[in-house]
Structure 1
Amino acid sequence: MSKPILFLQQIPHYLISTRMVSILLTFGLFFMLSCTAFERSSDSGTGFHRGIENELRELNQQLQAEPENETLLLRKGELLFQLADQLAEPHQRTDIYREITTLSSSTVFQRDPDLTILNEKRKLIWNREQSSGIRLHQQDKSEGTNRQHQQIADHFQNAIAILPDSLVTYSLLATTYYERGEVQQAINTLHLAMEENESVKPEIIEKLAWLLLETGDTEQSVSYYEQLVRENPSNSHFLHGLVNAYVISRMNARAVERLSLMTQEFPARTYYLETLFEQYYFLIESMATSYLQPEMTQNNPETAIADILLTAGKFEEIFTSLKERVPMSEELHFKTGLYFNYLADLLDTLAEHENSRGESGSQISEKSDLSRKQALELIEKAAELNPDRLEYRYRLHEIYLRLNMTDEADQIERTLSL
């Protein structure tokens, strides 16, 4: 039977079924955005379009001679906006928006306050593009479809193109990709947000850390979570995420260290204590596995065994605290009993290894017997609370045999055969 893992529930609130709305609410950025569609000029025919392009070519030629001519630059900006407005499909506007953004970042616009009109228009376009993406997303959600997914992504891409420092739009775009299962695209989007912005909100980093953890890039995920906790030490949500990253990454020693602090800081959150109990077992398992590796040369095997037994003692101490602070349900009796039984099996393996080396494994065997008896007591209680659950009886039969309690094992076997 596989070992149960008391994983912390770390799925962020902005990635649950109502992901998009949750993001807006969580980040405090729920805009009452206009849901109007992009208006098209009545002169949106091919001739009008061609006329804009011709004038833009002439302007570009003039700007080569006068690159800082404010009148020419403003006119170019106006024409680019007009050109974008003639394009019905959102993906057709993206490159034009990027050109507008490049234009607005020129030194002329940066130093002349009278030219801020271009930036004001950019904000309006950003609002409209993002609004359209949200509106289409809400339509898809109400219809239970993903048919407009690409258009939604295109609108958010446009909003980013026209206003590259809008972190909320990066977050919305990342969520759009995530909902379609395009996790790597979501990760790339958040990386881009961090590259394009000197100051990145912690929520963006957290979202990236969570996605990296989901894709198996545990090392990078842990690095981001550790950064979040360093910069926001009092944020329990980030602490929670860091511990979960340690757990999933099998960094048991770090998980134990962090959880030990958190159980003191948040004594009411008993699930931290349950997870600490679990992580102590996995830490012991990791220590024992390392010790038993044939290629490992033990300079001081006595110290290694002593460390394992010391950690097993701490495992028992955490269980004592758990019993005192947490109501022992049927499920918790069984789960903790299983861990004590796993510990006994692990210690038996260590004792056999020591005996094979010509060393005495008696101390380890004694600890194993105590652990198995503790497992028996806990699982017997679970069976008492729910006598109809066959899994309990199978497990008790196994433990009775390991403890040479043959009469009890035979009795259980008779009930199982019935």
Structure 2
Amino acid sequence: MINYPTRMTGFVLVFGIFFTLSCASLFSTGENAENLYNQNKYAAALEKVDRELADDPENHQLTLLKTQILRDYAIHERSPSDRQLLYQNLRSTADELRFSTDQFTAKSDSVLKSAWSHEQSEGVRQLQQEENTDIDRVIAHFSNAITIIPDSIVTYNLKATTHFRNNDLGKAIETLESIEKSGYNRPPETEEKLAYLYLEAGMIDQSIEIYEQLAASHPESEIYRQGLVNAYILGERHGQSIELLEQLAEEFPNRAEYREALATERFYLLKIEARNQMAAEEISEEDADRYVTAINDISTIYSDIDNALPTSEERNERIAEFHISASGLLNELGTVAEADSDLSQKVSDEAEAHLHNALPYLRSLFESNADNVAYAQRLIRIYNQLGMEHEAETLERQINF
């Protein structure tokens, strides 16, 4: 009996130590989600807040806390490419507060905007780095921003631009197409960007469809009509491009690019028409006069542009090429019209006149690029066609010196 109290005391002491340790453990794991969050223990805080919400699902303050935990957990402990699930959770959690009070809605929106701003700003910052830009990381940032605020059109545009800079037209197009697939509307500026990407990818019909809609909805916009002209040209719809270019040239008479494009398109269609007719029948004098007049009208457009603007090598190249091509077309017409010697001579004279018209531009090109043998050889070839043997021989000696 003497030993009994001692044994009981030992049992009580052991139990007491166990109870004390258990209490300490319970106290440690019993920290609430907010305390864990304030200690930057985001994983534990997230697990804890989910348990707390399971017990009190209508607690808006806890729901708001969860959005903050998810935001900071994603930003501070995950690489950009591993944040999607957390941001999806953030978005759905914030949506739960949209049916609560205005106060909680505003606060959850603020959390979303701060997370979105972080992701987009990081994407832009890294995109602007001159060297060692990690494109995949940049795209991950923009994808995260879209997950957080899925109607942020500016982010879709940035992501598409990043893909485009990375020579991935397919993903750039897919990014802008996904706006509509997600249930949002593309504004006109984004529609125009998609139309341009379609054009770059050779998806001409899709591009034309968008540009036509934009031009019809915004007739005051010059840029949409410019895009439509380019789409028409690349889509071989030259009649429609000419009609639109005539409108633009009339509306903007000082825009040389419209008049030059108009001249180029008219000559292109004229060549097709003339060659089709030559293949099918003889050329009458009336036909020949019509083609000569049309070519001279186009020549006048080029001359007016050349007289109005400072000289440039690119323009000299284009004007010279026009006159050489016009001469070639007229010579073809003259060959078909051989049955009428007078008509053939008349057309041949016009062809020769256009070669003479090309000479000043070819000389200017050669003088500006004396080491460019191709310019010299082309000039020599035209000299020989015009019977200017002395000039051809002189230039030949010059380049062979």
How does the TM-score come out when normalised to structure 2?
0.72
Are the aligned partners of 1:334 and 1:382 in contact in 2 as well (CA < 8 Å)? yes
Measure the CA separation in 2 of the matches of 1:275 and 1:340.
15
Shift of 1:167: 0.9
Residues 1:52 and 1:299: Cα distance change in structure 2 (over 3 Å): farther
**Secondary structure of residue in 2 paired with 1:71:** coil
Moved more, 176-185 or 47-56: 47-56
Partner residue in 2 for 1:29: none
Correspondence 1:336 to 2:314: no
Residues 1:40 and 1:47: Cα distance change in structure 2 (over 3 Å): closer
Are the aligned partners of 1:209 and 1:221 in contact in 2 as well (CA < 8 Å)? yes
Are the aligned partners of 2:116 and 2:148 in contact in 1 as well (CA < 8 Å)? no
Residues 1:98 and 1:389: Cα distance change in structure 2 (over 3 Å): closer
Correspondence 1:409 to 2:392: yes
Aligned residue pairs: how many?
Answer: 362
Measure the CA separation in 1 of the matches of 2:151 and 2:288.
55
Are the aligned partners of 2:46 and 2:70 in contact in 1 as well (CA < 8 Å)? yes
**Secondary structure of residue in 2 paired with 1:86:** helix
Correspondence 1:126 to 2:113: yes
**Secondary structure of residue in 1 paired with 2:128:** helix
Correspondence 1:277 to 2:263: yes
Residues 1:331 and 1:80: Cα distance change in structure 2 (over 3 Å): closer
> Larger helix proportion, structure 1 or 2?
2
Partner residue in 2 for 1:7: none
Measure the CA separation in 1 of the matches of 2:43 and 2:93.
25
Measure the CA separation in 1 of the matches of 2:180 and 2:337.
53
Measure the CA separation in 2 of the matches of 1:233 and 1:209.
17
**Secondary structure of residue in 2 paired with 1:153:** helix
Partner residue in 1 for 2:203: 217
Are the aligned partners of 1:101 and 1:162 in contact in 2 as well (CA < 8 Å)? yes
Partner residue in 2 for 1:312: 295
RMSD of aligned residue pairs (Cα, Å) = 4.2
Map Cα deviations across residues 293-344 of structure 1 (whole Å, 9 max, x no partner). x7xxx59987987775554243123124224422445664453122110221
Q: What is the aligned counterpart of 2:48 among 46, 51, 59?
A: 51
How does the TM-score come out when normalised to structure 1?
0.69
**Secondary structure of residue in 1 paired with 2:146:** helix
Percent sequence identity over matched residues?
A: 25
Correspondence 1:174 to 2:163: no
Q: What is the aligned counterpart of 2:144 among 155, 158, 178?
A: 158
Aligned positions of 1:5-404 closer than 5 A: 41-42=38-39, 44=41, 46-54=43-51, 58=54, 71=58, 79=66, 82-87=69-74, 88-89=77-78, 90-98=80-88, 101=91, 109=98, 112=99, 114=101, 117-118=104-105, 120-139=107-126, 141-142=128-129, 144-147=131-134, 149-196=135-182, 198-288=184-274, 298=280, 308-309=291-292, 311-328=294-311, 332-352=315-335, 364-380=347-363, 390-404=373-387
**Secondary structure of residue in 2 paired with 1:146:** coil
Q: Which amino acid aligns with 2:196?
A: W
Map Cα deviations across residues 384-407 of structure 1 (whole Å, 9 max, x no partner). 787776544422321232234444
Q: Which amino acid aligns with 1:315?
A: I
Q: Which amino acid aligns with 2:187?
A: K
Q: Which amino acid aligns with 1:124?
A: V
Larger Rg: 2
**Secondary structure of residue in 1 paired with 2:58:** helix
Residues 1:325 and 1:261: Cα distance change in structure 2 (over 3 Å): farther
Measure the CA separation in 2 of the matches of 1:259 and 1:389.
35
Q: Which amino acid aligns with 1:42?
A: Q
Shift of 1:215: 2.2
Measure the CA separation in 2 of the matches of 1:255 and 1:377.
30
Are the aligned partners of 1:334 and 1:379 in contact in 2 as well (CA < 8 Å)? yes
Map Cα deviations across residues 180-220 of structure 1 (whole Å, 9 max, x no partner). 33332121111112444554322211222222222222332
Residues 1:338 and 1:150: Cα distance change in structure 2 (over 3 Å): closer
Partner residue in 1 for 2:28: none
Are the aligned partners of 1:104 and 1:119 in contact in 2 as well (CA < 8 Å)? no
Residues 1:133 and 1:101: Cα distance change in structure 2 (over 3 Å): closer
Measure the CA separation in 1 of the matches of 2:83 and 2:390.
81
Measure the CA separation in 2 of the matches of 1:40 and 1:144.
37
Map Cα deviations across residues 27-81 of structure 1 (whole Å, 9 max, x no partner). xxxxxxxxxxxx965252654443345566x48xx9xxxxxxx927886675465
Measure the CA separation in 1 of the matches of 2:275 and 2:149.
53
**Secondary structure of residue in 2 paired with 1:164:** coil
Are the aligned partners of 2:327 and 2:352 in contact in 1 as well (CA < 8 Å)? yes
Are the aligned partners of 2:123 and 2:138 in contact in 1 as well (CA < 8 Å)? yes
Residues 1:50 and 1:251: Cα distance change in structure 2 (over 3 Å): same
Are the aligned partners of 2:123 and 2:142 in contact in 1 as well (CA < 8 Å)? no
Residues 1:116 and 1:189: Cα distance change in structure 2 (over 3 Å): farther
